[in-house]
Structure 1
Amino acid sequence: MSPRDVVIIGAGQLRNNRERDFDSATEPLELILRAAAASAEDAGVGAAELSGVDLVAAVQIVSWSYADDACVVAERLGATDARCVTSGAGGHQPVAMLQHIAGRIAEGEAELALLCGGEAQSSLEMFQRADAEIPWSRDPGGPGKFDRAVGGTERMWDLGLVGPIRIYPLFENRLRYELGQSFAEAQDWSARMYSEFSAVAAGNEAAWNPVPRTPEEIATVGPKNRMICFPYPLLMNATAKVDQAAALLVASAETADRLGVPESKRIHVLSAASGSDCEDVLERPTFGASAGMAGALDRALDGAGLGMSDVDVLDLYSCFPVVPKLGSLHLKATGRALSATGGLTSFGGAHNNYSSHALVAVTRELRRTGGTGLVYANGEYVTKHSATVLSGRARPEGFVASEAIGTPQTVRVVDHYIGEAVVETYTVEYDREAEPARGYVVASLPGGGRTGVRVSKKDTYTLGELVSQDREPIGRTGRITESDGRRTFALEGAA
């Protein structure tokens, strides 16, 4: 046993108020405290031991505002001497926080830590729709931190190309093109994968939508599964309106011994790695791959001294189908189960905190079966990446961490270009009447570089061609013009 050995000793999670009942509505802090108590009970140490944690790492709460998420949790636990760390925004943060915790424990700077996060977005919106007073504690900042969660550069905001629903389809459509797939083939892959995730969620007690769905249900567009942004209907989008919380107790091996935690409960954190791509999506060198994702996955496996063939349990972040597609393609794992949790559509996408639940799910599975697990978490717009390797077996090296390396590559973006351009990727956003409302095109320019541009709702020809299931729009030529200070793109043949 290495002095750098770091182990997860307790894992707890919960779902609350699926029935959307006012009396059951509970603020995120209370949900987190329940999950923390569950993690202590799971470790067999009792909730009283939580007052002895010396590090509290909280995943940033989005649905409700506290002065400092981690410090509020520590105060309520009675952990008065604990160091407190609250993450920034992004779905990668649970794994990034685990990397931080494991590093501190491995260096002897902490002995017992709590990783926690929770959301109550569903209950919050229930109160807001009823225009009812919300009986939760808060700081003067008021409820909600969506401004921190959306991200994007000034260029992206000017274009309106912000929000996950608009950006992830850009990667999906380009990946389909680069793989030489038809629309039907790409959608079938997405639907089969998400159907498998729904079956996993059906067996997870904290899942928000624990209903197995067939690939046909997921792929078929209709009143209950309307198109959001092409090519993703509702059942291929993350579900953010959930009340969920998760917590993990992480300790040094010596502390686990002192607490009497049996070996069968200990899951060793072998390695963790992070990576990033450039913040501005329009500057990405490609939309069919992610260098930051690939680097984080590779370095996490290398740090553990393992290859993908050594991994028994896998959970790849799945806010939209393209993310697990990119991960599985890089890992050469397309024929494997890609989620131990159930995915962000069926299990639930608790804003930044989904991968805390993934860590719970993989911990439980490794306790049951032994072996090794890999958890990958994605933040922003395939921008921030964190991966960790967990195992039921210790190793002499203990925990090994790898930080992001290098500067992400970029391409030149021409913001005010007018003239001929070629579709590189695109999406079309639909309104609630199931009609195309606007389009977004990323276009390659004749002199090199690219630009981002919108498609007018009035241009029914271009919008119709972009959402055609029979003719590939990528690679087609069009023209960018300007009117009243706004540039728009129209394919050749548009009136």
Structure 2
Amino acid sequence: MSARDVVIIGVGQLRNNRERDLAQAAEPLDLIERAARASADDAGIGADHLARVDAVAAVQIVSWSYADDAKAVADRLGATGARCVTSGSGGHQPVEMLTRLAEQVAAGDADLALLCGGEAQSSLELFQRAEADIPWSREPGGPGKFSREVGGTERMWDLGLVGPIRIYPLFENRLRYELGQSFAQAQQWSARMYSEFSAVAARNDAAWHPTPRTPDEIATVGPKNRMICFPYPLLMNATAKVDQAAAILVASAEEADRLGVPESKRIHLWSAAADRDCEDVLERPAFGASAGMAKALDQALDGAELAAGDVDVLDLYSCFPVVPKLAALHLKVTDRALSATGGLTSFGGAHNNYSSHALVAVTRELRRTGGTGLVYANGEYVTRHSVVVLSGRARPEGFVSAAATGEPETVTVLDDYTGEAVVETFTVEYDREANPARGYVVASLSGGRRTGVRVSKKDTYTLGELVREDTEPIGRRGRITESGGRRTFALEGSA
């Protein structure tokens, strides 16, 4: 027996307080409620029907804490009987949660479900800078959920190699090397892609930065576009200080019939898949590819019985340029539009919730043009991967999903190694005065082993060589030494 047909029947999203006015600030729960009511209006069923929702999945809110995000939303909507679940952290969670809801609907365990999420980071920081009281709902835990839950192992934390700004450049620099690109070629690709994303964001009603930018603006480093971690200037980094919310209303086809939702509003969920890479970035077998990403993409397409070329609309997660690059290279779609939403720099990266907006954007586009769409969502550090395939057409087999199988491959990491080593990949973090402040090197050792190590701020030669744009530092030899309990790497030729 085939699973039931699962359809998105309503979507809603919003941007709030772009003007950064305390009088317009609203807490995340208020924004999510507005988005949820907009999704019901979009479905043509009226917000009172939200009280009939069987299941509510909330993407974890980062900017403000509630005791239970999903239950807080359900209570606001009057859906007191709904099963509620709040996701963990990670940008993959919107698609992961949509998959869980779709599985319930397909199995007959729910008829009407709501996926939602929202953030008010911009307004929160506005209150904090003004040293003003924050008049938002207060529940145990207080504001903010930043912790080691964002990903990384003890080894990574001890090294200081945590935080997206430091880790994604490791993948970018290695990918450039493996593709045989010069620094200029790789940056031009990134800038051209993000310029195209900015043009998409300019047409999106919830975009935080709805202004098209040229490739030159994005690639040129200067006072308003300073280098953060080499090779990414500010305009190649996600924008997290946003107030945005989104909601997606999901139903069985039978429930959509009962509610009177027209076929033109229905977008069918065909397939979904999830996979992962190992948690410790230093143990990854490769930095120029992601096995978990590849498997999730392939499984989702296989479940839908589609090839990548059959997909009409794409939204590939884009916290940093290397992520859509890796996905597009695997799918062999580098000449295609890769975002229906506008990307996490121009549209805005509402912490864990960007891909909820991607689901809104792809749903709207498929309603307009028909065909099929794919949303790829990435969590942590190219670690968690969730993919969903959508279509304007029903599929006789109904919705299918595939979860990760097997343990990710790893390589051996030596934490106390000293001696000769070869640069496998690297990044250099800059201070606000535009000077290289610290470096991080992933170094290859004999026997296929690896180590992670820092570069001293005092070693201006090594830092300078790593960020030269006319030579390739990957593959160069150096030495790791230890002093005062801290190991550092220096390139050959360093004093």
The answer on whether the counterparts of 1:292 and 1:383 sit within 8 Å (CA) in structure 2 is yes
Question: Is the contact made by 1:441 and 1:489 (CA closer than 8 Å) also made in structure 2?
Answer: yes
Aligned to 1:73: 73
Deviation at 1:131, TM superposition (A): 1.2
- Flag the 1:148–1:103 CA change in 2: closer, same or farther, 3 A: farther
The Cα offsets for residues 359-391 of structure 1, whole Å up to 9 and x where unpaired, read as 000000000000000000000000000000000
User: Aligned partners of 1:288 and 1:93: how far apart in 2?
Assistant: 24
Q: Match of 1:39?
A: 39
Aligned-pair CA distance for 1:446: 2.4
141-150 vs 14-23, greater mean Cα deviation: 141-150
Q: Aligned partners of 1:301, 1:139: CA distance in 2, in Å?
A: 42
Report the CA distance between 1:149 and its aligned residue: 5.1
Q: What is the distance in 2 between the residues matched to 1:32 and 1:233?
A: 32
The residue type paired with residue 94 of structure 2 is P
Aligned partner of 1:51: which letter?
A
- Separation of aligned partners in 2, 1:12 and 1:72: 18
Amino acid at match of 1:132: A
Equivalent-residue separation in structure 2 for 1:414 and 1:158 (angstroms): 14
State the partner residue of 1:14. 14
- C-alpha deviation, 1:250, in angstroms: 0.1
Q: How many residues align?
A: 495
Structure 1 counterpart of 2:491, which letter? Answer: L
User: For residue 488 of structure 1, what is the aligned residue in structure 2?
Assistant: 488
Once residues 123 and 148 of structure 1 are traced to their aligned partners in structure 2, the CA distance between those partners, rounded to angstroms, is: 24
Structure 2 CA distance, aligned partners of 1:283 and 1:133?
45
> 2:38 aligns to what SS in structure 1?
helix
How do 1:456-471 and structure 2 match up within 5 A? 456-471=456-471
CA deviations 1:239-272 (Å, max 9, x no partner) are 0000000000000000000000000000000000
- Work out whether residues 111 and 252 of structure 1, in 8 Å CA contact, stay in contact via their aligned partners in 2: yes
Deviations 1:105-157 (A, max 9, x none): 00000000000000000000111111111100021211000115532100000
AA in 1 matched with 2:441: V
1:310 is displaced (CA, Å) by: 1.0
Alignment of 1:241-320 (within 5 A): 241-320=241-320
Q: CA deviation at 1:447?
A: 3.9
In 2, Cα distance between equivalents of 1:146 and 1:390: 32
Q: Which residue of 2 aligns with 1:186?
A: 186
State whether structure 2 residue 108 is matched by structure 1 residue 108: yes
Contact (CA 8 Å) 1:423, 1:443: kept in 2 or not? yes
CA–CA separation in structure 2 for the residues paired with 1:360 and 1:399: 19
Give the SS at the match of 1:388: strand
Question: Take 1:3 and 1:474, find their aligned partners in 2: how far apart are those partners?
Answer: 50
**What is the CA–CA distance in structure 2 between the aligned matches of 1:368 and 1:446, rounded to whole Å?**
55
User: Which stretch shifts more, 132-141 or 284-293?
Assistant: 132-141
Measure, in 2, the Cα distance between the counterparts of 1:151 and 1:335. Answer: 32
Q: Kindly indicate whether the alpha-carbon contact (under 8 Å) linking 1:201 and 1:211 is maintained by their aligned counterparts in 2.
A: yes
| Structure 2 counterpart of 1:161 | 161
Question: 1:226 & 1:475 partners in 2: Cα distance?
Answer: 27
Q: In the alignment, residue 411 of structure 1 is paired with which amino acid?
A: V
Deviation at 1:303, TM superposition (A): 0.5
Q: Which amino acid aligns with 1:466?
A: L
Tell whether the 8 Å contact from 2:371 to 2:392 is kept in structure 1 after alignment: yes
Find the counterpart in structure 1 of residue 151 from structure 2: 151
CA distance in 2, matches of 1:371, 1:321: 27
Partners of 1:40 and 1:437 in 2: CA distance: 50
Q: TM-score, normalised by structure 2?
A: 0.99
- How far 1:416 sits from its partner (Å)? 0.3
Question: 2:61 aligned with 1:52, yes or no?
Answer: no
How far apart are the structure 2 equivalents of 1:124 and 1:284?
A: 36
Unaligned runs of 5+ in 1: none
Paired with 2:427 and 2:254, the residues of 1 have a C-alpha distance of 53
**8 A contact 1:90–1:149 mirrored in 2:** no
CA shift at 1:406, angstroms? Answer: 1.4
Q: In structure 2, what is the equivalent of residue 388 of structure 1?
A: 388
Q: Confirm or deny: 8 A CA contact 1:166 1:229 kept in the other structure.
A: yes
Q: Secondary structure in 2 aligned to 1:453?
A: strand
Kindly provide the amino acid, as one letter, of the partner of residue 193 in structure 1. M
Q: Deviations for 1:61-85, whole angstroms, at most 9, x for unmatched residues?
A: 0000000000110111110110001
Identity of aligned residues (%): 83
Counterpart in the other structure of 1:218: 218
Query: Which runs of 5 or more structure 2 residues have no equivalent in the other structure?
Result: none
Alignment of 1:20-35 (within 5 A): 20-35=20-35
SS of residue in 2 equivalent to 1:137: coil
The aligned residue for residue 117 of structure 2 is 117
Query: Does the aligned pair in 2 maintain the 1:427–1:440 contact within 8 Å?
Result: yes
Instruction: List per-residue Cα deviations over 1:394-418 (Å, max 9, x = no partner).
Output: 0110000001111100000000000
**Deviation >2 Å, runs of 4+:** none
Q: Which amino acid aligns with 2:42?
A: D
Deviation string for 1:250-295 (max 9, x for gaps)?
0000000000000000000000000000000000000000000000
Specify whether residues 478 and 268 from structure 1 end up closer, same or farther in structure 2 by C-alpha distance, changes over 3 A only.
same
Name the SS for the 1:146 alignment partner. Answer: coil
Alignment of structure 1 residues 419-434 onto 2, 5 Å:
419-434=419-434
Looking at structure 2, the residues matched to 43 and 148 of structure 1 have their Cα atoms a distance apart, in angstroms, of 39
Distance 1:475 1:350 in 2: 37
**Partner in structure 2 of residue 455 of structure 1:** 455
Residues 273 and 387 in structure 1, CA contact (< 8 A), matched pair in contact too = yes
Counterpart CA distance in 2 for 1:206 and 1:482 is 50
SS in 2 for 1:271: strand
Q: Report the counterpart of residue 171 of structure 1 in structure 2.
A: 171
Residue of structure 1 in register with 2:363 after alignment: 363
Give the secondary structure class of the aligned counterpart of 2:448: coil
Mapped to 2, the partners of 1:481 and 1:141 lie a distance apart of 43
SS of the residue corresponding to residue 167 of structure 1 reads helix
Aligned residue for 2:12, secondary structure, equals strand
Give the conservation status (yes or no) of the 8 Å contact 2:61–2:69: yes
Distance apart, 1:3 and its partner CA: 5.4
Displacement of 1:344 in angstroms is 0.1
Alignment check: 8 A CA contact 2:114 2:250 kept: yes
Does the CA contact (< 8 Å) of 2:3 and 2:399 recur in 1? no
Say if 2:411 and 2:448, in contact at 8 Å, map to a contact too.
no
How far apart are residue 91 of structure 1 and its match? 0.1
- What is the Cα-based RMSD across aligned positions, in Å? 0.9
Structure 1 CA distance, aligned partners of 2:249 and 2:173? 40
Q: What residue in structure 2 maps to residue 409 of structure 1?
A: 409
Q: Is the 8 A contact 1:420 1:446 kept in 2?
A: no
